[in-house]
């Protein structure tokens, strides 16, 4: 498989080059040259396959000959060694729980797959690799956990000061070893802009081998298809589900759309956003207008100019009517998010996190207008990652899972950074 740049000013490359570079030299996102079809017998056998087997079948055509099959099978098995259960919440709505990995959020699958691929590709490398990543909350922790202790790899994480939860901040700042955290005096878009600028800085790249860990990296983006395939493997109804995805940078939803384009049966997609609703506004108007990110309760989705939007357009040949028919956009306020957490907890006993609540609210509304359908929403984080919002809504404390007790007691180590490129450059130059 080859990947071309969406800016079309760089040469197509194989999976290895795309994963190591993160972004094309012309600044574009890499996109696969062909969209493979899932074999028909794969789709009929779904319920009998393990998550690792699903991952191998989904990812093999994308990796091609860049990683030998036994090695890729091992990487897939390590990537999804935890369950991805579909849990019924009401008679028409189920949760696809994606928070059973080591950092309790869905980004573990993409981050683990990518870290293992990069570890494999750099095994003969003499220059150290620096993984540079901007996070709105959960990416950083997943990437840090994926790379912790990997020899020859240093991880530098930029996160917006005061905009991540205490558990998230500990997962970024308290691991030590080869993980460094930069606390940026700005918002997520500032962090993302600084990272993008570093990737365009040729002199810096001469000095350090930079690689990206954001959802723009194909090795992080593509494995997210496994969620949707795993959901279908557990789906008990004849009619395929409506799938609601809480979205920020749109990597996750775009992976779902990719699986759909490969033949996975899905009735409809719902793009659920908080007040940062650039894509829902696009779906309504056909015009894309980025806006500055605003802070909300579902902070991992506080993105005003989502990176993966270009991939969504590319996937559907820039046909707005096609995309619009398959995908509905919703904007969910913080007030509705809180009310949804409270109501669902009272009525069903299921405790949503704010991101899952945004998707739940949107899905419920969609199903109200489509009474013959059923749906699932992606529950992308454990509620304990956002205890303030959840406790304020339910009036109940969220107990700390045992595996977090030790992490929460470790000292925070971070470096303050002004949201200016010179500051980041000086830090990386050393």
Ligand X SMILES: *Cc1c(COP(=O)(O)O)cnc(C)c1O
Q: Please list every residue from 43 through 102 that binds ligand X, using CB under 6 A.
A: none
Strand (E) or helix (H) holding 130: strand 129-134
Q: In terms of CB distance, is 10 or 307 closer to ligand X? A: 307
CB of 305 to ligand X, least distance (A): 12
Q: In terms of CB distance, is 198 or 301 closer to ligand X? A: 301
The CA distance from 71 to 89, in Å, is 38
Q: In terms of CB distance, is 13 or 327 closer to ligand X? A: 327
Q: Check residue 138 for interaction with ligand X (CB under 6 A).
A: yes
First to last CA, the chain: 37
CB of 355 to ligand X, least distance (A): 4
Binding mask 10-29 for ligand X (x = CB under 6 A): --------------------
The CA distance from 268 to 328, in Å, is 8
Piece of 183-191, 200-208, 225-233, 248-256 that binds ligand X (CB under 6 A): 248-256
Q: In terms of CB distance, is 107 or 311 closer to ligand X? A: 107
Q: Please list every residue from 270 through 309 that binds ligand X, using CB under 6 A.
A: 300-301
Reading the block at residue 155, the tokens are: 């991880």
Give the list of residues 6+ apart from residue 257 with CB closer than 8 angstroms, or none. 269, 312, 315, 316, 326, 327
Piece of 10-18, 46-54, 251-259, 328-336 that binds ligand X (CB under 6 A): 251-259
Helix, strand or coil, per DSSP, at residue 342: helix
Piece of 185-193, 246-254, 259-267, 312-320 that binds ligand X (CB under 6 A): 246-254
Q: In terms of CB distance, is 268 or 355 closer to ligand X? A: 355
Q: Check residue 382 for interaction with ligand X (CB under 6 A).
A: no
Give residue 86's Cα distance to chain centre: 19
Q: Check residue 252 for interaction with ligand X (CB under 6 A).
A: yes
Q: In terms of CB distance, is 186 or 306 closer to ligand X? A: 306
The CA distance from 241 to 421, in Å, is 44
- What is the 3-state secondary structure of 204-232? HHHHCEEEECCCCCHHHHHHHHHHHHHHH
Q: Which of 186, 248, 256, 375 binds ligand X (CB under 6 A)?
A: 248
Here the contacts of 147-153 (C-beta below 8 Å, separation 24 or greater) are: 147/115, 147/178, 147/179, 148/175, 148/177, 148/178, 148/179, 149/177, 149/178, 150/115, 150/119, 150/178, 152/122, 152/125, 152/128, 153/115, 153/118, 153/119, 153/122, 153/128, 153/129, 153/178
Q: In terms of CB distance, is 53 or 302 closer to ligand X? A: 302
Q: Which of 247, 275, 331, 338 binds ligand X (CB under 6 A)?
A: 247
CB of 265 to ligand X, least distance (A): 22
Give the list of residues 6+ apart from residue 41 with CB closer than 8 angstroms, or none. none
Answer whether 428's CB lies under 8 Å from 156's CB.
yes
Q: What are phi and psi of 125, to 5 degrees?
A: -80, 135
CB of 426 to ligand X, least distance (A): 29
Pick from 348, 335, 337: which is nearest to 300 by CA? Answer: 337
Q: In terms of CB distance, is 173 or 249 closer to ligand X? A: 249
Q: Check residue 192 for interaction with ligand X (CB under 6 A).
A: no
Q: In terms of CB distance, is 235 or 250 closer to ligand X? A: 250
Q: Check residue 380 for interaction with ligand X (CB under 6 A).
A: yes
Strand runs (DSSP E) across 268-410, as ranges? 268-273, 327-331, 375-379
CB of 19 to ligand X, least distance (A): 18
Strand runs (DSSP E) across 179-326, as ranges? 179-184, 209-212, 242-246, 268-273
Residue 241 DSSP code: P
Q: Check residue 183 for interaction with ligand X (CB under 6 A).
A: no
Q: Which of 137, 223, 329, 419 binds ligand X (CB under 6 A)?
A: 137
Answer whether 407's CB lies under 8 Å from 170's CB.
yes
CB of 171 to ligand X, least distance (A): 11
Size of the site for ligand X (CB under 6 A): 18
Reading the block at residue 157, the tokens are: 């994480």
Q: Which of 29, 42, 59, 107 binds ligand X (CB under 6 A)?
A: 107
Q: Check residue 215 for interaction with ligand X (CB under 6 A).
A: yes
Helix, strand or coil, per DSSP, at residue 173: helix
CB of 253 to ligand X, least distance (A): 6
Q: Please list every residue from 339 through 358 that binds ligand X, using CB under 6 A.
A: 355
Binding site for ligand X (CB under 6 A): 105, 107, 137-138, 215, 246-253, 300-301, 355, 380-381
């Amino acid at each position: 498989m080859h990947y071309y740049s969406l800016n079309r000013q760089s040469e197509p490359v194989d999976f290895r080059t795309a994963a190591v570079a993160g972004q094309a030299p012309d600044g574009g996102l890499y996109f696969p040259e062909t969209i493979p079809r899932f074999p028909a017998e794969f789709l009929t056998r779904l319920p009998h396959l393990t998550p690792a087997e699903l991952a191998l079948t989904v990812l093999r055509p994308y990796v091609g000959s860049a990683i030998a099959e036994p090695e890729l099978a091992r990487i897939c098995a390590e990537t999804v060694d935890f369950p991805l259960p579909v849990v019924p919440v009401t008679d028409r709505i189920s949760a696809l729980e994606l928070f059973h990995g080591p950092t309790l959020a869905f980004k573990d699958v993409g981050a683990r797959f990518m870290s293992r691929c990069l570890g494999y590709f750099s095994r003969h490398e003499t220059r150290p690799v620096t993984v540079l990543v901007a996070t709105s909350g959960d990416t950083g922790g997943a990437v840090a956990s994926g790379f912790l202790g990997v020899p020859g790899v240093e991880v530098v994480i930029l996160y917006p000061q005061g905009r991540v939860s205490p558990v998230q901040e500990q997962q970024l700042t308290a691991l030590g070893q080869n993980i460094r955290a930069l606390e940026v005096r700005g918002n997520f878009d500032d962090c993302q802009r600084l990272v993008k600028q570093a990737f365009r800085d040729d002199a810096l790249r001469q000095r350090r081998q930079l690689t990206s860990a954001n959802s723009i990296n194909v090795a992080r983006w593509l494995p997210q298809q496994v969620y949707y395939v795993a959901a279908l493997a557990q789906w008990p109804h004849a009619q395929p589900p409506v799938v609601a995805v809480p979205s920020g940078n749109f990597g996750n939803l775009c992976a779902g759309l990719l699986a759909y384009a490969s033949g996975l049966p899905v009735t409809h997609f719902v793009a659920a956003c908080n007040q940062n609703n650039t894509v829902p506004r696009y779906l309504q108007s056909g015009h894309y207008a980025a806006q500055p990110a605003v802070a909300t309760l579902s902070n991992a989705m506080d993105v005003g100019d989502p990176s993966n939007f270009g991939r969504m357009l590319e996937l559907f040949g820039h046909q707005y009517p096609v995309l619009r028919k398959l995908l509905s956009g919703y904007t969910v306020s913080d007030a509705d998010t809180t009310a949804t957490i409270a109501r669902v907890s009272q009525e069903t006993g299921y405790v949503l996190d704010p991101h899952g609540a945004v998707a739940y609210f949107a899905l419920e509304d969609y199903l109200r207008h489509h009474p013959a359908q059923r749906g699932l929403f992606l529950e992308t984080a454990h509620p304990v990652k956002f205890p303030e919002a959840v406790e304020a809504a339910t009036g109940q404390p969220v107990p700390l899972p045992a595996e977090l007790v030790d992490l929460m007691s470790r000292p925070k180590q971070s470096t303050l950074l002004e949201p200016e490129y010179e500051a980041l450059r000086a830090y990386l130059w050393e």
